[in-house]
């Protein structure tokens, strides 16, 4: 296995495309020594193009400081060519690109996503079930969902993000969209850790509660960690919520 090369421009950051679109790239943040594992950071923003990878950059930098290789993933979003199925294609291809980065992808590969990114992080663990996203070259071993939109149908009913689900899918969710809906891919055969703030008004904690309940009832491994604060405290590297997330990752690698 090739040794990852640190870049001098910023603390291990290296931008690498995984496709030809300007939004198809990842930024790799490397620790100073051998990585403990890989964390794929998937930003949120209700899948809309006005929100981008810079939401995940502080988390990726923090992860590399803690010994992780962090792959801060950008993808096409609604408004710049994304939505269904392009966003799913990008998440699958972006994760599989890690196989070309000289990293160990046979042990710990965590998808960590916030809000809509939490939906994509959990979905990514099920992508190998479907012909459209096979073969999945890099297997996800753990999921961390930060206030994830984990039930698209309920999010549509609740009109989260002012109609974000319908905008993302291109229509109201139906049975045909079940392969794209995290809660309808339960159970996963890997553990999912959901962290959610109790005062979140953007994505209510009931989204994580329902997902964890469905996973545990199905005999799968899932845990809800509730913290004080709002939707964005989870992606503040100075917050106790982020400290809790790092502590959870410590148990994985």
- What does the pLDDT read at residue 13? 77
Query: What is the reported pTM?
Result: 0.95
Distance CA 160, CA 194 (A): 18
Structure tokens at 15: 């931008």
- Name the phi and psi angles at 210, rounded to 5: -65, -40
Question: Where do the domains of the chain lie, and which CATH numbers do they carry?
Answer: 14-250 (3.40.50.1820)
The CA-atom distances, in angstroms, between 74 and each of 1, 37, 97, 186 are 25, 20, 12, 26
112 Rama class: left (phi>0) / alpha (psi -120 to 50) / beta? beta
For residue 26, the surrounding DSSP H or E stretch is: strand 25-29
Is residue 111 pLDDT above 70, yes or no? yes
Q: Which runs of consecutive H residues, i.e. helices, occur in the chain?
A: 57-65, 86-96, 116-124, 152-157, 164-169, 206-217, 240-250
DSSP 8-class letter at 150: -
The pLDDT tens digits of the residues spanning 62-110 come to 999 999 999 999 999 999 999 999 999 999 999 999 999 999 999 999 9
- What does the pLDDT read at residue 253? 79
The pLDDT tens digits of the residues spanning 125-154 come to 999 999 999 999 999 999 999 999 999 999
- Counting every residue written for the chain, the total comes to 253
The pLDDT tens digits of the residues spanning 30-49 come to 999 999 999 999 999 999 99
Let me know: does 79 contact 150? Beta carbons within 8 Å. Answer: no
The DSSP secondary structure of 68-83, one letter per residue, reads -EEEEE----BTTT-S
């Amino acid at each position: 296995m090739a040794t990852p090369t640190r870049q001098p421009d910023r603390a291990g950051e290296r931008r690498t495309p995984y496709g030809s679109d300007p939004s198809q790239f990842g930024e790799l943040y490397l620790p100073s020594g051998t990585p403990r594992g890989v964390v794929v950071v998937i930003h949120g923003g209700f899948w809309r193009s006005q929100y981008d990878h810079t939401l995940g950059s502080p988390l990726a930098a923090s992860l590399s400081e803690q010994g992780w290789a962090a792959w801060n993933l950008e993808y096409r979003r609604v408004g710049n060519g994304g939505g269904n199925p392009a966003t799913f294609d990008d998440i699958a291809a972006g994760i599989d690109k890690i196989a070309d980065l000289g990293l160990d992808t046979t042990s710990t590969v965590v998808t960590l996503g916030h809000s809509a990114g939490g939906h994509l992080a959990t979905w990514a663990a099920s992508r190998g079930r479907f012909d459209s996203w096979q073969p999945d070259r890099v297997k996800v071993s753990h999921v961390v969902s930060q206030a994830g939109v984990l039930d698209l149908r309920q999010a549509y009913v609740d009109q989260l993000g002012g109609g974000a689900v319908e905008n993302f899918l291109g229509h109201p969710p139906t049975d045909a969209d079940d392969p794209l809906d995290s809660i309808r891919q339960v159970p996963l055969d890997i553990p999912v850790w959901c962290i959610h703030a109790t005062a979140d008004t953007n994505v209510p904690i009931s989204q994580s509660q329902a997902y964890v309940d469905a996973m545990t009832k199905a005999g799968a491994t899932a845990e809800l960690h509730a913290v004080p604060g709002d939707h964005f405290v989870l992606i503040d590297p100075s917050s106790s919520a982020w400290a809790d997330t790092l502590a959870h990752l410590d148990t994985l690698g």
